[in-house]
Each structure stands twice: as C-alpha cells, then as structure tokens.
Structure 1
Amino acid sequence: MFRNQYDTDVTTWSPAGRLFQVEYAMEAVKQGAAAVGLRSASHIVLATVNKAASDLSSYQKKVFKIDDHIGVAIAGLTADGRVLSRYLRNECINHAFVYESPLPVSRLVVRLADKAQVCTQRSWKRPYGVGLLVAGLDETGAHLYYNCPSGNYFEYQAFAIGSRSQAAKTFLERKFEFFNNYSRDELIIDAIFAIKETLQGEKLTSAICTVAVVGKDEAFHLIDQKIIQELIDAMEIKEDVPADQAPVPDDDGSSGAAPMDI
C-alpha cells in the first residue's frame, strides 16, 4: 500500500469507492503475530504466537480474559487490543451488575463491532488496527467470532488471523467439519498444530506459544506452559515415528495411549 490523496482521513472516499484508512487498519491485522481459534460443541480454544519486537525484549500479551465465560485473542496493534479488552470487561461487569447474569457473547460482539464502526465515520478518529477472536460460552452454546477493524463481525467454527495465517486456515479447512465432536484435549492439540503451520519451519516451543481454553464448567484460563511443551514434544515424537511403527488402534478405534491431563 502507498500514500495517496485519498487517505488523509477515514471519511474520504476514493473514486473506486475505497476507504484507505480502513484498509490500512486491516493490513495491520495481517502484519501482526498469528492467532488461532477453534470451537467444539462444548469448548473453545484460542492460541497465539508470542512475537517479541527484538531479541532484547519480551513479548506482549495477546490473550485477554474478559469474563469467566469469555476471552479474546488479538492480532495487530497490541495497544488497541488492550483498550478494546478493557472496554469489553466494562461491558460484562455493567451487564452483570444490572441484570445479575452473564452477558451473552453475541451481544458483546455486536457492541464491539459498533464501537469499531464509529471510528470509520469520524474524521478525527482512526480505525482500531487490531483484529479480535472472541471466544465465549453462553446459554446458546459455544461461540467463536472474528471482529474486523471495519466494524464487521463473523462467527466461525475455526479461524486464524495475523501473519502467515493462511497456512493455519488451510490446515483448519481440512478438519473443521469434525471439530464439533472434538473433545477438549483434541481441540488444544489441533490449535497447537495450526500455530505450528504459521511458523513455516521455525521451531515451535512453549515460549513462543500461548494457549487458552473456555468451556462447560471451565472458566476461561491460560494453559500452563509446561503442559504445552509436553504436548509439543509428544507431537514431534509422533511425527518422527515411521508409519509401520505407529501404535496399533484398539477395537474401539483408540490408540491405547493414556489421555494427558491438560
């Protein structure tokens, strides 16, 4: 993208009917570190790449708890992500205080979309340069939404945003039809696999990966880094084992291996 006479503010339309400031904000999402979301009938998993600005700095937090039943993962400008996360927390707190019940996920997503859309019609504001994957569970079930800087929002079974997210999308598109029947542990493993796809050859470790989960009878929380590293090590061992030496499935279709406590 390049600077031109039609991108001085967000209310200036180009002759082709484009708002360049909004497109710049959406490009900021594409340049951010990758974030992945998957949902089943009872659980939602978020995973992100922890990308440091330099070898001398630590990474910035990309997964935020909004309420016990809602969490978000961001890609793009982290500062904008923190501002919107604080806004979402306030909305959940106010709703719980007035109605004494959790805020439905769909209603929270609409409020977030409205807030983002206002920034596309005010010349003294700029669009938020961050995309949010909103994961939540309410009375209607598990939900995963993507909120775009343009003010649009979409619900997905699985989705990926950020840098090199297309590789993760390709992986998710091959398997998303089965996610609805997945267990919690299977969702977490596939989320790590999807994050690994975005690294394109770079070694995956728990130090550069954050995974969070929310589900029935389970509040939103981050999974311990030691457990993530154990899963990554187990995945690498499985990939190195030749097909003729793989575990023989039992009669019920399982491999006979004991499930890991995640």
Structure 2
Amino acid sequence: MFRNNYDNDAVTFSPQGRIFQVEYAQEAVKQGSVVVGLVNKTHVVLVGLKRNAEELSSYQRKIIEIDSHMGVAIAGLASDARVLSNFMKQQSLGSRMTYGRPIPVERIVSQISDRAQLNTQQYGRRPYGVGLLVAGVDESGPHLFDFQPSGMTYEMSACAIGARSQMARTYLERNLDKFADSSRDELITHGLRALKETLSQDKELTVDNTSVGVVGLAPEGSKGRIESFKLYDGQIIAPLLEALEQTESGETREGEMEVDS
C-alpha cells in the first residue's frame, strides 16, 4: 500500500533527491486534456481540447484570458488553474494601475513560478496540480511559455501538454520550420491539426470540445500595436474547423493526383 516514507509532504527529499509530491502534481498535468501552443513572428495561438465529466455536465474551460495582451491554456486541476489565473489577473491589473502599462509576459511567468516553487519550501502546502501554457505579446514581441508544477518555466516555439500530448508534439516537431513564416490563419490551422492528432479514432473536433485563443501584433496601419487576445469558443469556432477540413481535403486531393500521375 505504501510506496515510501518520503511522499507525505512537499519539503522532504527522497534519498535519490526526488520530491514525490511534485511528481504527483506533474502526473495530474499528464492526466488533463491536451492543450497546444504555437508561436510565430507575429502571433501566438493556444488550442485546447475540452472535456466533460459526463453527458449531463458542461465542458471544462481550457483557455482563460488574463489581460488584453495575454491568455493561458490549462491542463490538470481546474481549481488550481483558477487560483493561479486569478493571481495573474491581479498582477496584470496592478501593473496597469501602478505603471500605466501591461505587465511583460516574462515577468508574470516568473511571478507564478516563484509562487509555485514556494509551495515546495513550506510544510503543509502542496504543489499546484496544473500546467499552463502562457501566451502573450509585449514590447519584445510574441511569447509562449510552458509552466510546470515544480515552478520550472521554459520559453517555447511550440508546445503541448496533457493526456496523449506526445502525438501533438510529434506533429509540432515535424512542422516546426513552417510556423515562423506562417500567417495567423495558417498558425491556427497547424494548432488544430496538432490537436486532432491526439484524438482517439472514435472522436473528432467539434464546436463543443474545442477552444482557440489568439493574440499577436496588429497589422501595419491599425490603431493599436497589439491585436487583443481573442477567444474562439462555441459556434464562433465553426469557421476555423471548416477551414481545417477544407485544408485537409485539399491535401488529400493533391496526394491522389500525385499517385495517379
């Protein structure tokens, strides 16, 4: 029944130098439904697969807007994600009230990392059982960060976390060279295709189980410098799924023509 005597709290190291409470929190992230993030020179895209506990329940919220220039996608315990997202909203609002400008993405990621790592230093606390993909734009351009329950963060060109995310990561690695020069719509299509790779054979992407969040630099000639974070959810996402189907059907026809020739 008992694995060891070193997993009763988050401040005790095992003889191998491991903190099992952190590993349990990371396992909660692996059990969550998958989310995918991609970034190019102008935009960041978050794509999430929503999950419902049963047929009578609503779908879990996967992408949360933090500020007009930032949003997060979650994988793991939604309650822990709510705590961290509320903290991020408070810090973002504080930056606007104190300094009159949006908080830099790297700074707020560093703040939630410090908060998460503090839970591995104080007895009676536990690590947050949630992973975040933080997408935002600041003066240095678009950014995508991967946040882990241990407090570790990495800036990524593309990333996927959650259950069955390895298939999405494989797609992202194979098509990484195409992201940098892609357009906004092409980046969304790549994100949806990566998300589709994680589905089992009896499931498909629908307006009910798919969410997309986009933020980036505004086109030249626009009033503002930043294109505000936009969440595509429900029926709003239908045109994006239709564009995905058209792209895949077009590639299928091209493949058939090459085989015939």
**TM-score in terms of structure 2 length:** 0.90
* Cα distance change, pair 185–113 in 1 and its aligned pair in 2 (3 A): same
Residue-by-residue CA offset, 1:127-151 (whole Å, 9 max, x unaligned) = 0000000000010011000011000
Give the AA of the match of 1:234: Q
Identity across the alignment (%): 48
**C-alpha distance in structure 1 between counterparts of 2:117 and 2:127, whole Å:** 8
Match of 2:222 in 1: none
Tell me the alpha carbon deviations over residues 15-65 of structure 1, each in whole angstroms, 9 at most, x when there is no partner.
111100000001100000000000001100000001111222111111000
The residue identity in structure 1 corresponding to 2:242 is E
Paired residue for 1:226? 238
Report the Cα offset of residue 121 of structure 1. 1.1
Alignment-derived partner of residue 224 in structure 2: none
Alignment of 1:73-92 (within 5 A): 73-92=73-92
Alignment match, 1:163: 163
Partner of 2:213: 212
Mapping of residues 49-128 of structure 1, within 5 Å: 49-128=49-128
For residue 221 of structure 1, report the CA deviation from its aligned partner.
1.0
Contact 1:41–1:180 (8 Å) recurs in 2: yes
Question: Residue in 1 aligned with 2:221?
Answer: none
- One-letter amino acid of the structure 1 residue matched with residue 231 of structure 2: L
CA–CA separation in structure 2 for the residues paired with 1:233 and 1:187 = 15
Which runs of 5 or more residues in structure 1 are unaligned?
Answer: 247-262
Q: Within 2, Cα distance between the matches of 1:133 and 1:2?
A: 34
Choose 53-62 or 146-155, whichever is displaced more.
53-62
Taking the aligned partners of 2:137 and 2:92, their CA distance within structure 1 comes to 13
Separation (CA, whole Å) in 1 of partners of 2:197 and 2:238: 21
Matched ranges for 1:1-262 at <5 A: 3-201=3-201, 202-217=203-218, 218-223=227-232, 224-238=236-250, 240-241=252-253, 243-245=255-257
How far apart, CA to CA, are the structure 2 residues paired with 1:72 and 1:124?
Answer: 28
- C-alpha separation between the residues in 2 aligned to 1:51 and 1:34? 10
Distance 1:193 1:2, change over 3 A: farther
> Any conservation in 1 of the 2:59–2:208 contact (CA below 8 Å)?
no
User: Does the 8 A contact of 2:189 with 2:240 survive in 1?
Assistant: no
- How many residues matched? 246
Structure 2 unmatched runs, 5+:
219-226
Report Cα offsets for 1:189-234 as digits up to 9, x if no partner.
0000000011132222222111110011210011222223322432
Distance 1:19 1:44 in 2: 33
CA contact (8 A) 1:205 1:232 kept: no
Secondary structure, counterpart of 1:113 in structure 2: helix
Query: Helix, strand or coil: the match of 1:200?
Result: coil
> CA–CA distance in 1 between the matches of 2:2 and 2:30?
16
Inter-partner Cα distance in structure 2 for 1:78 and 1:195 = 20
Q: Which amino acid is the alignment partner of residue 169 of structure 1? A: R
C-alpha separation in 1, matches of 2:249 and 2:142 = 32
Distance 2:210 2:251 in 1: 19
SS of the residue aligned with 1:173? Answer: helix
Instruction: Provide the aligned C-alpha RMSD in A.
Output: 1.6
Residue identity opposite 1:208 in structure 2: N
Which one-letter code corresponds to 2:179 in the other structure?
F
